[in-house]
Amino acid sequence: MTHRRTSHRRMAVAATGLAALLAGSFAVTQANATSPATDAVPDVLSSAEAGELAGSLAGLLSDEAAGGTFYDSDTETLVVNVVDEAAADTVREAGAEARVVENSLATLSEVRASVEDFAVPGTAWSIDPVSNTVRVTVDSTVTGEELASVRDSVEALDGLATLEQRAGEYQPFIAGGDAIYSSGARCSLGFNVSVGGQPGFLTAGHCGSVGSGWSDSSGGGEIGTMTAGEFPGGDYALVEYSADIDNPSAVNRYDGSTQEITGAAEATVGQSVERSGSTTGLHGGEVTAVDVSVSYPQGTVNGTIETTVCAEPGDSGGALFSGSDALGITSGGSGNCSSGGQTFFYPVTDALDAVGATLP
């Protein structure tokens, strides 16, 4: 079903490099699946509505019965992979399209966990609900004997995993919505939050360290202090405001307007999303994977959201959102906004839980 998190608990895409923003998209293969004939017509949904439906179905299907979900933007329906007709009936009754597949989430989760044993820096892996396999990708730094070893290990999984090579290098990007500065580094503000009644904001953990001071202009006066954060493992940080400064629950759209943020949600594969960052402004794309583990040179970040949205250094920490829903914090990736690439985002819901914050 929809992804289920445990602390740093999603193993889905691993990669190397320090790049807080990814762009581009992963090619997907057709799943070894069939769609049984049925008179039920799935509901037409927006990607946000599909995410809500996926969340509600998560508690109805076990990992042994389900095989993942994704949003089909062509038909505007939520597709739910299942392994038997009993589960398919449950899905259809809820208004989604049921697709009978061979591999359950339980099986694919075991395969995904095994990838960590042979992954090298520059590797990414995740469960791909479209192909109903575990997708393993490697960047351009994985060559020679390392590449051969990864390829052999994927082939040994007997069709349960696929391997793809990507241009560029996976790495976190130091830089990000509105620009924020600390010790000569520039990142982006993600989302304004409230902690114990006090205002603050979320950004990427790799942007700084606990105790560091932050300003809203290069060389400007301090507006807040980083009081919590994690990188690697996770990639989030909390900066609590020390100055009296406007802190709306909104994201800069870089066209003179803002997008109001009213809540946090989990991303769905196939969902249309936008990303705001201080280097490249506003860009859109699609969610291509969730529960992704990315292996940067500094270590692995677990549970990220993979997208086709582009990003560049300085966009780190910036906001990933869909409409008024906050989804993620820009972490890293490969490529740029000229040639494309992939970008990984740390889920906002996990970051809020970790620091005990809420959206204002």
CA distance 292 to 125: 6
* 84 CB-contact burial (10 Å; exposed 0-12 / middle 13-18 / buried 19+): exposed
Any idea which residue has 């954060």 for tokens?
Answer: 229
The DSSP 8-state label assigned to residue 42 in this structure reads P
Q: Note if 8 is an active site residue.
A: no
Any idea which residue has 């809820």 for tokens?
Answer: 94
Q: Note if 316 is an active site residue.
A: yes
Closest Cα to residue 311, out of 345, 287, 288? 345
Sign for the pseudo-dihedral over CA of 117, 123, 124, 127: negative
Q: Which two tokens stand for residue 331?
A: 């972490």
Q: Which two tokens stand for residue 90?
A: 């449950």
Residue 51: enclosing H or E segment and its boundaries?
helix 47-58
Active site residue: 235, 315, 325, 350, which one?
235
Active site residue: 188, 206, 295, 334, which one?
206
CA distance 53 to 96: 8
Q: Note if 109 is an active site residue.
A: no
Residue 336: enclosing H or E segment and its boundaries?
strand 325-336
Active site residue: 104, 276, 316, 331, which one?
316
The DSSP 8-state label assigned to residue 206 in this structure reads G
Residues with catalytic function: 206, 235, 316
